Amino acid sequence: MIAKPAFDLVFRNAVTRSSAAAVDIGIAGGRIAAIAPRLVCEAVEVDLNGRLALPGFVDTHIHLDKACLLGRCGHDHASLSEAIRAVSAMKRDFTVEDVYARGSKVIERAITAGTTRMRTHVEIDPRIGLRGFEAVKALKRDYAWALDLSLCVFPQEGLTNDPGADELLVAALNDGAEAVGGCPYVDSDPNAHIARIFDVAQEFDVDVDLHLDFDLDPSWWHMEEVCRQTERCNYHGRVAIGHATKLSALPPERLKAASTRLAEAGVAVTVLPATDLYLMGRDATHNAPRGLTAAHRLVADGVLCSVATNNVQNPFTPFGDASLLRMANLYANAAHAGIGEFDACLDLVTDLPARLMNLKDYGIAVGNPADIVVLDTDSGTNAIAELPDVLMGFKRGRKTFERQRPTLFRP
């Protein structure tokens, strides 16, 4: 007698993005153990009935430490510098408990919206000290059952111009931060800021993820310096720049040259639609530029890109529900993506951000952790078009949430 394979759980009739027809997915020990058209096995069964299974959304750029601040500051900030100033004033009063409470609210929204991996940027400077970092470290520990949280520390208010920021950054990296970021455009010496971030990254062997080129004037930028430092440090594939809205202001031939440069240096771009659309082009009285870099077109030119959440309900962005599916839909809409490009827009919140974060075990494939979320639709294209409900999620084979389909009460 041939023994039936034993799984802890089997998903029946799952549509995945790589299978032409529905498949069964067998889970054992928290990992994907088998994928086949029909698994004959003994296991708890979840029948997806032809619904789309994804390995979860990957958010490469969110700010948990300064989320959900609107009740505290009203909202009359109309520029990037006003937003930075407003948070700067508030963060002196942030406590570990306060950052934890606001961050957990956003993480729980993200989990139930299908996010399974996330990189949060955390401000480190003499005003907040390491309190924000302590809080997100606790969030990482307490939500590990549902989401892998990675911490990228950065000096939001400058490095060379902010005495004490460097030492605190190094302290956070000594205490487990997994990536280092920066914000050269606020520094009195942007190139020194960039060089120091790369030196620190090399010293701690961590990836770099910068806030960069966040305006619509393409007559100057820091992108070339970042590419140069990436090459100097041999950091191809380990560097990302967030916003890069200047790219949206380039005519096609200059954009092509910029994408060739980014691709050859191995520098990735993260587009943050909610904030980019909200903060850019505000001084225009009509025909306002949207300031949104067309990530899916850069991908077609060989640049690794992601679309991410950035800020949630704070002076940088007064909206937000931490749903990356909604963000990809917003992106597709604002970037004039055609229906034939919707799948590429879904890539921007799934496979591509996983590559940007150098995650080696992401995807619905045998051997990977059983991170699976189920969407109430049947294809990647329809996921972007319909904004379906995310019905349930699993982390390492354990169910983390479930959403009931709405019931209509007909008369």
Ligand X SMILES: O=c1cc[nH]c(=O)[nH]1
Instruction: Answer whether 185's CB lies under 8 Å from 192's CB.
Output: no
DSSP character for 158? -
222 binds ligand X (CB under 6 A): no
150 binds ligand X (CB under 6 A): no
Instruction: Answer whether 22's CB lies under 8 Å from 39's CB.
Output: no
To the nearest whole angstrom, how small is the minimum distance from the Cβ of residue 275 to ligand X?
A: 4
- The SS3 call for residue 35 is strand
Kindly determine how many residues on this chain lie close enough to bind ligand X according to the rule CB under 6 A: 9
To the nearest whole angstrom, how small is the minimum distance from the Cβ of residue 256 to ligand X?
A: 26
Q: Which of residues 168-187 bind ligand X (CB under 6 A)?
A: 183
Query: Pairing mode, if any, of strands 390-395 and 372-375?
Result: antiparallel
211 binds ligand X (CB under 6 A): yes
Rounded Cα gap, residues 163 and 125, in angstroms? 9
To the nearest whole angstrom, how small is the minimum distance from the Cβ of residue 160 to ligand X?
A: 18
Q: Which of residues 87-126 bind ligand X (CB under 6 A)?
A: none
To the nearest whole angstrom, how small is the minimum distance from the Cβ of residue 314 to ligand X?
A: 8
Cβ distance to ligand X smaller for residue 13 or 311? 311
Cβ distance to ligand X smaller for residue 186 or 384? 186
Cβ distance to ligand X smaller for residue 211 or 246? 211
Of 146, 155, 145, give the one whose Cα is nearest residue 177.
155
310 binds ligand X (CB under 6 A): yes
To the nearest whole angstrom, how small is the minimum distance from the Cβ of residue 84 to ligand X?
A: 7
127 binds ligand X (CB under 6 A): no
Rounded Cα gap, residues 140 and 163, in angstroms? 29
- The SS3 call for residue 28 is strand
Among 275, 293, 306, 313, contact with ligand X (rule: CB under 6 A): 275
Contacts 24+ apart (CB under 8 A), 22-26: 22/48, 22/50, 25/53, 25/364, 25/370, 25/372
316 binds ligand X (CB under 6 A): yes
63 binds ligand X (CB under 6 A): yes
Amino acid at 274: A
Contacting positions for ligand X (CB under 6 A): 63, 156, 183, 211, 214, 275, 310-311, 316
